[in-house]
Amino acid sequence: MLFFVEVIKLTRQILHSFVQEGLVDEFIITVAPTIIGKGIPLFREGNYQLNLSLKRTRIFSQFVELHYKVNGKSV
């Protein structure tokens, strides 16, 4: 489990860098409910916002997939 958490943290750092540089045009995020604990955040804390448009949602049993288009940075 520790290895998985470290991979998620590294992925989050890379994602943050890509978002800051404007290199991300879409997000496809699968949300799984958390029974115990608070889960692992996908994004680092920071002072930034993105203008997103929801393109579609899909439901897979207990999971929900959210597909967003990035419209640009918000101030």
What pLDDT does residue 65 have?
92
How distant, in Å, are the alpha carbons of 9, 15, 16, 19, 35 from that of 3? 10, 18, 20, 24, 21
Number of domains in the chain: 1
Distance CA 9, CA 39 (A): 12
Determine the structural domain holding residue 47 and report its residue range.
Answer: 2-74
What pLDDT does residue 14 have?
84
What pLDDT does residue 57 have?
96
CATH code of the domain in which 43 resides: 3.40.430.10
What residue ranges of the chain have pLDDT lower than 50? Answer: none
